[in-house]
Structure formats: structure tokens, C-alpha cells
Amino acid sequence: MSMKKTLIIGASLDPSRYSYKAAHMLKRFNHEIVNVGIKKGEVAGSEIEKPEIIHNDIDTITLYIGAALQEQYHNYIIDTKPKRVIFNPGTENYELEKLLDQHGIEPIEACTLVLLSTGQY
């Protein structure tokens, strides 16, 4: 499995949140991560940052925020130019998926944790 630098939108300091679990699992599988969220802190050894810095070396963005909050991230996601965006359960958003398609970014409705644990990431 090749290493895929992954940006986590909706990073959380709460160990019960799936974004927290995904950050740790991504690191365990040796993927570099960038945490983006609203709270200050560190998850899996990486600081949580605001969606202000555009990273141009991101392979995958994995979403952990619902459709209602995603709109404010549309430009950030497009400007980041990832190869794909994973819509984890509960984050599905047809409008954003359509927008990604128009920009040559692959939308995937899947679970990051399942993809990692089954070797499909």
C-alpha cells in the first residue's frame, strides 16, 4: 500500500470521535496526516489547524463534518486539489460530490477506518 498524505476535515480531540480514531489509524499505517478543525490541540502527533493553509501535496481528504458544515470548506477543498475526497458515513453530500467531479477530484462514499483495516485505502 502506498503512503497517501491525508487531510482530515473535522479533526477532534475527543477519543470517541471517528476523526480521532482515523487520525491514529492513518499514522499507524504510516500515512502522513494534516488535521483541520475548529479546536486547538494535537491529534496523533499533528496540530489541528484552521482551513487557511492550502496544502498542495494532499492525496486524500477525509470528511468528518456533515453536509451543512461542508459548504464553508468547498473552496478550501477545491484549492487543495486532492486526488480524492472520502465521504465517511453521515457526510454524504451530492452537491459537493458533483462539484468535485467537475474539478477532476474523485468523490468516494466509504469509511476511512474500513478502507484502512481491509487494505483498500
User: What structural domains and CATH numbers belong to the chain?
Assistant: 6-117 (3.40.50.720)
Question: Sign of the C-alpha dihedral, residues 63, 68, 71, 73?
Answer: negative
pLDDT in tens, 31-47: 999 999 999 999 999 99
pLDDT in tens, 78-92: 999 999 999 999 999
* pTM of the predicted model as reported, rounded to 2 decimal places: 0.96
Concatenate the DSSP letters of all residues of 28-45 into one string.
Answer: HTT--EEEE-SS-SEETT
- Cα separation, 22 vs 63, whole angstroms: 11
pLDDT in tens, 94-116: 999 999 999 999 999 999 999 99
